[in-house]
Amino acid sequence: MYINGEWLITEKTFAVYNPACGEEIGQVADGTRHHAVMAIEAAQAAFSGWAGTTAYKRSECLYRAYELMIERKQQLAELMTREQGKPLKASLNEVQYGADFLRWYAEEAKRVYGETIPSARSDQRFIVHHQPVGVVAAITPWNYPVSMITRKVAPAIAAGCTIVLKPAEATPLCAMAVFEILHDAGIPAGVVNLVTSAEPKPIGEEFCTNVLVKKLTFTGSTPVGKILARDAAPQLKRVSMELGGHAPFIVFDDADPVHAAKGVALIKFLNAGQACISPNRIFVQRSIVETFLKTLKERVVKLQAGNGLESGVTIGPLVNQAAVDKVDKQVVDALAKGATLLHGGKRLVEGNMKNGHFYAPTLLSNVSPDMLIYREETFGPVAAVIAFDSEDEVIAMANDTNYGLAAYVYTQNLSRAMRTFEALQFGIIGINDINPTSAAAPFGGMKESGLGREGARDGLKEYLETKLGGFSI
């Protein structure tokens, strides 16, 4: 663990495994609630000094961290592939994405502007000032084990906050590598702290109940997010949550079905479907569904599962056996209720995959609302296709979920694009675009997909308090 500028070793450790082969790749300090308290107190002790540094100094530290992450890009990506499982090309892309947040907030740190407001009184002046909220507690997921860290740490320390981070127990090695970069970038002791643990619950409880923590930021499942928000509520602690998704992907009949199918194949099977913005329900207008399915099947058949460090592999393992079981349960349920299996639909245990957590890239058609896969987030490599007839019908079906993170629309009709953009109840919508994300763009959802935004100017505001001064002269 990394607390108050030092690496700490504990007597008790836990093992980290490669999900592609089951091989142990490291032992990590198994922190306790006591260590979380230590880290929070270190962050509190460092807060006033860090908050008092100039924005230019904080910017320099972040930009140096960006440079170091780019220098170490290859080794970070290889570590990510061993620990998380995604193909090396995808890991390299994620490291770049993670570095982008360091660079963006290195720039934004210098742009925390206040304002003056005219008063109705001649003897009064209003000044609005923004200050860091204080100590931040952060919890990050395993599916994007580098970029989800920088997306929280970078705006927090850019704003002048200090932070304690608990990474997912499946991917602590990537977190350690990121904190080595932050240390080497010259960020002062106590400003950034890392607590690793095989038991997340006590750490999360301390984050929620410790009065020194002024803000909690979490990326993960909606059920866990609700528990954390509930536990933080008695202190009215500020929270931001990036939670689950159930993204619709809508293809209208004026779109090119071949182009749309290629887009679906790229985003659906990215990270083996283990992304909160992964399309779960693929709605295709009935007149073009056959052409769409033909192209999508051609793409799915070509996907090669395996160890992400091997040449030619395009899809890696799922995170653990429970994830495989969940995906298989949804597929079995869909087939029992009338879905058509066009490809895949099974666990992969052949050859080098026998000790890993692999599920075949799968394509289902004739999916209906009574199936689990229509209602539940899949987080796996299954493309579920539903035919629709009208615009009003598909908007209603797309919005028929408690989630509201991402959605995708393919159409060449400008009026329809604008109507659907406004009607869909989702925080991020890609119009003929499968990658509507960037460090410069706000990321977050509506409904049960979360609170607040990450990235962009909005992401920095999450770590700032607004203070008004009324001056009588």
Angle, helices 88-108 vs 55-71, to 10°: value is 170
Concatenate the DSSP letters of all residues of 169-184 into one string: TT-HHHHHHHHHHHHH
Question: Could you say which of 83, 94, 276, 448 is catalytic?
Answer: 276
Angle 247-251-252 from CA coordinates, rounded to 5°: 135
1-60 tens-digit pLDDT: 999 999 999 999 999 999 999 999 999 999 999 999 999 999 999 999 999 999 999 999
Closest of 391, 409, 93, 363 to residue 247, by C-alpha = 409
How far is residue 177 CA from its own chain's centroid? 18
Identify the architecture of domain 2-243+449-472 in CATH: 3-Layer(aba) Sandwich (3.40)
Residue 242 annotated in active site: yes
Note the pLDDT of residue 49: 98
Note the pLDDT of residue 217: 98
Between the alpha carbon of residue 281 and those of residues 51, 264, 328, 371, the distances in Å are 45, 11, 17, 11
Note the pLDDT of residue 284: 98
Residue 174 annotated in active site: no
Q: What is the DSSP letter of 258?
A: H
Angle 338-434-331 from CA coordinates, rounded to 5°: 20
Cβ atoms 131, 159 nearer than 8 A: no
Q: What is the DSSP letter of 288?
A: G
> Which amino acid, residue 280?
N
Q: Judge if pTM exceeds 0.85.
A: yes
In this structure, what are the phi and psi dihedrals at residue 36, rounded to the nearest 5 degrees?
-65, -40
Q: Is 431 helix (H, G, I), strand (E, B) or coil?
A: strand
Note the pLDDT of residue 300: 98
Residue recorded with tokens 């490599």? 381
Between the alpha carbon of residue 10 and those of residues 33, 172, 195, the distances in Å are 13, 15, 11
> Which amino acid, residue 103?
R
Identify the architecture of domain 247-438 in CATH: 3-Layer(aba) Sandwich (3.40)
CATH 3.40.309.10 domain position(s) in the chain: 247-438
Note the pLDDT of residue 304: 97
Cβ atoms 13, 27 nearer than 8 A: yes
Alpha helices in 109-248 (DSSP H): 147-159, 172-184, 200-209, 222-232
In this structure, what are the phi and psi dihedrals at residue 152, rounded to the nearest 5 degrees?
-100, -45
Closest of 143, 25, 139, 26 to residue 84, by C-alpha = 143
Segments in the chain below pLDDT 50 = none
Note the pLDDT of residue 166: 98
Note the pLDDT of residue 144: 98
Cβ atoms 329, 318 nearer than 8 A: no
The whole-angstrom separation of Cα 194 and Cα 78 is: 21
Residue recorded with tokens 């690793």? 196
Residue recorded with tokens 């929270």? 239
Question: Could you say which of 108, 206, 242, 377 is catalytic?
Answer: 242
